[in-house]
Structure 1
Amino acid sequence: MSFQFPALLRFAISLFAFFYAGSIYGEVTLPKVLDSHMVVQRDLPVHMWGWAAAGESVTVSFRGQDRTTAANDLGLWSVYMPPGAAGGPFQLTVKGNNTITLEDILVGDVWVAGGQSNMEFEMRKASTAAVDLPKAADDKIRLMIVKKEFSEFPKTDLDGTAWTASTPESAKEFSAVAWYFAQEIEQREHVPVGVIDSTWGGTVAEAWTSLTALGADPGLAPVFTARGHMTEREASASLEQKVRTRLIDEAKVQGKPAPKFAWHPVLNTWAPAQLFNAMIAPLTPFPIRGVIWYQGESNSALERYPTYERLFRTMIEDWRNQWSIGDFPFLYVQLANFKSTPAEEYFQIRESQRRTLELRNTGMAVTIDIGNPDDVHPTDKLTVGRRLALAARALSYGEQLEFSGPLYRQVTPEGSNLRVWFDHATSLEAKGGALTGFEVAGTDGQFAPADAKIDGSTVVLSSPSVVLPVAARYGWANSPECHLYNGAGLPASPFTSIK
């Protein structure tokens, strides 16, 4: 009988081996996020860290400044260099028993792009790729793609990652939304922009949230219950795989064609914290300007969406706590219009996303007008990136501009009518069609289509089938017809007045 180490012991041994790698070889090493061609965050201390022999003296030199420290008993060292303004390129050296020289470093703004497939969606697939990819060479935009990986425990380094300047070749596999966002920020703010693409299609928000944060909130217990059901499916899939392997081997021995089977993936990518541990935790010592995020489709199932608002808020606050640089801007994309299955309620996720704007320093790009009803992956990523950039320009860079479409504030009764009040509602208009998509309900909670009329910065609703309406909603479908915009040409977010 073979002996197997408990999971925690295996982790401790691997962590020990990682930390002491520098001690064994007597060389200074750096995490992969610290490399030539990177962008470091302006106006914040530049954090440099890594591994060396225990007690080894390490000196970092950058922009004419030197800082010296010593590796601790575990071989870990860390030093903060003075903050500075945007500029470069610079050289940085790390010297211990050996010397590491990093070249072509820019100082500017660093953004992390996270989420699932619509953020992962590569530039080469975008509808604008044929025009924009050949012009993607921009040395002031630096890109890094985090390799897909999951882990049961928080990792201290990434696997197989490198920074590169934006070129037609490097940009084609990069997130289209993130690339267009970076281009807009670089051109508008005139500073170098680095973007870290840490995405994985078809994943849930709980996989991107630390166990510490998930476990601290009893209200998020359903995510662990869901994981338990999935673990049962994984065990079943593992057993099925063993059976498949046996049947394939038997067919090979008998000289017969290998049987074909349906493939069932192992669902580690949906496990709580597994993607945070491998693809976010190693980045948290690296100072950033903010985050852009596009996710929610995988949380839209009937058994998952009720916890999404609480989960999404927890994830945002968790990332801010993990980075420890304050409430940095967290800008996200509201789900686009798509004719999903009845078992998925995109409109519920959109409402959760709208309500999450209550968190400080958050912004939302509404995309209800630019999706593809028949494809969950709409190819217009240019508009998405630019709408996220509008939020960044206003919230992070202080530009005086309209950055949001109309957002529901409240409803007030007026006899047999309801008046809906909006923020970001200058010059409301019905664009591209009649003002459809509004519904009202009485005290029985039964909604009926409403006649809608714009009145200044409000919309007045009425319905012959609802005598005394008390509630309103808009765009309450997976793929609704929505035509309400403000004067800046930005669409109104779907909403419901019922909490």
Structure 2
Amino acid sequence: MSHDESHMGATTGPAPGANLTGTANMAEASDKPHAPMELRPAAVFSHRMVLQRRRPIPVFGTGEPGRTVMVTLASSERSGMLALCGDGRSDSVVASGTVGDDGNWLVELPPLEAGDGYELTVTDRSGIRLVYHHVGVGEVWLAGGQSNMELELRNAADGERAVNDSADPGLRFFNTPKCGHVSDELTRLENESVWVVCAPDTSGAMSAVAYWFAHRLRERLETHVPIGIIDCYVGGTSISCWMSETTLESSPSGRGYLERYHAIVDGKTERQMHEETDAWQRDFDAWNAAIAADQASQPDIDWETLNARHGECPWPPPMTTFSQYHPTGPFEAMICRVAPYALHGFLWYQGEEDERFADDYRAMLGMLVGEWRARWEGETLPFIIAQLPQWISKSDFDAGIDHRYWPVLREAQRDVSLAIADVYTVPLMDCGEFNNIHPTDKRTPGERLANAALNRIYGCADVPADVPEPVSWSYSSNENASDDDAGDANVHVSAGSVIVRFDHAEELRFSDKNASLEPPKHFESRESTPSFRPAGASGFEVSTDDGVWHPVAARITHSADDPGESFVTLPLPDTLHPTGIRYGWASWGVPPLSNRWDIPAFPFSHLIPHASSTTIR
């Protein structure tokens, strides 16, 4: 793939309406125990925190070297006794340690069963005593990525109703302050960051995807199990922002990001970078104010009109050594400040910002999984990846341009989950919106991620999570073509057909479900049925020896022996002898194949060898 520098790619940036510093859960100073420099737990420890059940619980922070630290988790009148893993109960569990020469300390409490209403106390021998109230033990997940994970519940589809109905003392979240470098300002923000209980006056600031994920877990898991979400994302960030320099330097893909970064910032003074950032901020604020004014006076105004009046969003901001968008920045200032807080796993929704370097994304995502697991010392901590949905800009669509970066990104996300244990990719091919890179339906992605967790990780076999996927294909020449293949008047068959066998394909069908079917002409077809799509409307293409891809019709049939097995037959027109087959290989395309649970099939692209059949996986 050519990395055409003139193509600036998708303008992602922050999610619409997002808080750019992650400070929506800032507390009054009195709401968090004042921690002196001599003994300071990490910012992620606060009142109402949720600790991970059934795993050792690290409590960590900074302090004066040589100090002894004691941590106690104790029951209260409200909570009852702590439930120990294995057997038995106790009034409290205790651990102690010493602040190291580097000023860091970590002690580890034993694993516990779920519970709530506990108190966590951190003390030393000098009399410092920090007490955190209303502590729960349950399930904790970190939600990471960029703007589609960042999009807040109040700004999502049906957000007002969801926020109004969100009261749940067992669902809590912590917004990690958004920052790209460790500084006094970050320390100030961390001192005021707290865990927040979901309620109508708080939940609007939560990631909408993470909210619906947690909401679904609360519905299905035991009612006494609190769910905690650590929101740790920045809209507009590249995947390189979320890894260390050591990891980036370890591969050609990572070094490319560092080289491009240094080509921009090297030679600039800090003063120059601040002046550039300040000038951009003035332009960005003025543009947002103009957009907001027009939207307030004309609620139905469209983005084409807004952009014509005020120009495109001035994004991205200048690259600097201190911005949220430079390689390694959020990793050092956000991930490393939260790790190794005990988790059950990670949710990851990102990739849009890396479209121009899609060929590198498979390697980069694999490195990110490895680095985060190492940081948490959990080699098998689950990752659940939100596969990118469909999207294309109106300008590209009208011009007939599709760089097909997004199919490569989707394939990379899928490949990582096939290559690395306990990594799962969830398809969102039915969740895109035409000309809107921030689709507002976040309930479908959130609940689909949750269903994957419930089925794959929590062992809820009755929760549907299996994705239709191709497992093999066969090719029959014209002498073996069936009468059924030639039965449609609009399909002329002489070269035979390719038959693709799908697994997890109960009641496989062409679905009409899509967040936005605009522009309608792209999807209309008189011949279309749930089991048949003509060429150009099926999403299937085959290639020939000259490398040209040709749209083909597709017909679905179901196995008589296995309800989970279905076949897609691709009748081939005259002289078309296939060398490759692909499905859904476009940034924006036709409504996808789905099974009985409305789970869309993974897009794919495969070469066809000279053999008459092969196994795909």
Taking structure 2 as the reference length, what is the TM-score of the superposition? 0.69
Equivalent residue number for residue 12 of structure 2: none
1:149 & 1:93 partners in 2: Cα distance? 28
1:26 & 1:383 partners in 2: Cα distance? 44
Moved more, 466-475 or 67-76: 67-76
Counterpart check, 1:395 vs 2:456: yes
Alignment of 1:396-475 (within 5 A): 396-400=457-461, 401-415=463-477, 416-432=496-512, 434=529, 435=533, 436-456=538-558, 457-464=566-573, 467-475=576-584
**Residue 34 of structure 1, CA deviation:** 1.2
The 3-state SS of whatever aligns with 1:409 is strand
**Residue 237 of structure 1, CA deviation:** 11
Counterpart check, 1:278 vs 2:340: no
Equivalent residue number for residue 485 of structure 1: 594
- Structure-2 change in CA distance of 1:90 and 1:469 (3 Å): same
1:35 & 1:339 partners in 2: Cα distance? 42
1:328 & 1:50 partners in 2: Cα distance? 22
**Residue 48 of structure 1, CA deviation:** 1.1
2:245 & 2:37 partners in 1: Cα distance? 34
The 3-state SS of whatever aligns with 2:330 is helix
Counterpart check, 1:196 vs 2:230: yes
- Structure-2 change in CA distance of 1:310 and 1:234 (3 Å): farther
Equivalent residue number for residue 104 of structure 1: 134
Alignment of 1:202-281 (within 5 A): 202-231=236-265, 238=272, 241=275, 265-267=317-319, 268-281=323-336
- Structure-2 change in CA distance of 1:121 and 1:264 (3 Å): closer
Equivalent residue number for residue 55 of structure 1: 66
1:235 & 1:478 partners in 2: Cα distance? 40
Contact 1:237–1:266 (8 Å) recurs in 2:
no
**Residue 498 of structure 1, CA deviation:** 4.2
Residues 280-334 of structure 1: CA deviation (Å, up to 9, x unaligned): 1111211100111111111112xx1110111111111211111112211111111
Q: 2:348 aligns with which of 269, 293, 301?
A: 293
Equivalent residue number for residue 349 of structure 1: 409
Unaligned runs of 5+ residues in structure 1 are 1-23, 249-259
Q: 1:87 aligns with which of 115, 119, 135?
A: 115
- Structure-2 change in CA distance of 1:179 and 1:135 (3 Å): same
Contact 2:178–2:334 (8 Å) recurs in 1:
yes
Moved more, 474-483 or 168-177: 474-483
**Residue 242 of structure 1, CA deviation:** 7.0
Q: How many residues align?
A: 460
Equivalent residue number for residue 375 of structure 1: 436
Moved more, 291-300 or 430-439: 430-439
1:363 & 1:431 partners in 2: Cα distance? 23
**Residue 143 of structure 1, CA deviation:** 0.6
2:241 & 2:230 partners in 1: Cα distance? 18
Contact 1:354–1:495 (8 Å) recurs in 2:
no
Equivalent residue number for residue 386 of structure 1: 447
Alignment of 1:27-176 (within 5 A): 27-63=38-74, 64-96=92-124, 97=126, 98-151=128-181, 159=190, 160-176=192-208
Moved more, 333-342 or 24-33: 24-33
1:361 & 1:67 partners in 2: Cα distance? 31
Task: Please tell me the root mean square deviation across aligned C-alpha atoms, in Å.
Answer: 3.0
- Structure-2 change in CA distance of 1:239 and 1:289 (3 Å): closer
The 3-state SS of whatever aligns with 2:202 is helix
- Structure-2 change in CA distance of 1:299 and 1:152 (3 Å): farther
Unaligned runs of 5+ residues in structure 2 are 1-34, 75-91, 283-309, 397-401, 478-495, 513-527, 559-565, 609-617
The 3-state SS of whatever aligns with 1:305 is helix
1:467 & 1:269 partners in 2: Cα distance? 51
**Residue 219 of structure 1, CA deviation:** 4.4
Q: 1:494 aligns with which of 596, 599, 603?
A: 603
**Residue 425 of structure 1, CA deviation:** 1.9
Contact 2:404–2:586 (8 Å) recurs in 1:
no
**Residue 212 of structure 1, CA deviation:** 2.2
Contact 1:411–1:472 (8 Å) recurs in 2:
no
Residues 48-96 of structure 1: CA deviation (Å, up to 9, x unaligned): 1223333222221113122232323344322111111011110111111
- Structure-2 change in CA distance of 1:265 and 1:56 (3 Å): same
Contact 2:499–2:567 (8 Å) recurs in 1:
yes
Instruction: Name the aligned partner's letter for residue 467 of structure 1.
Output: L
2:123 & 2:469 partners in 1: Cα distance? 53
Instruction: Name the aligned partner's letter for residue 414 of structure 2.
Output: R
Moved more, 480-489 or 163-172: 480-489
Residues 194-220 of structure 1: CA deviation (Å, up to 9, x unaligned): 001111111111111222222222343
Identity %: 30
Equivalent residue number for residue 5 of structure 1: none
Instruction: Name the aligned partner's letter for residue 348 of structure 1.
Output: V
Equivalent residue number for residue 322 of structure 1: 375
Instruction: Name the aligned partner's letter for residue 283 of structure 1.
Output: V
- Structure-2 change in CA distance of 1:135 and 1:233 (3 Å): farther
2:278 & 2:239 partners in 1: Cα distance? 32
Residues 436-495 of structure 1: CA deviation (Å, up to 9, x unaligned): 111111233211011111132221213315532131111121111133111222111221
1:278 & 1:478 partners in 2: Cα distance? 33
**Residue 118 of structure 1, CA deviation:** 0.6
**Residue 37 of structure 1, CA deviation:** 0.6
The 3-state SS of whatever aligns with 2:132 is strand
Taking structure 1 as the reference length, what is the TM-score of the superposition? 0.85
2:497 & 2:362 partners in 1: Cα distance? 30
2:151 & 2:268 partners in 1: Cα distance? 27
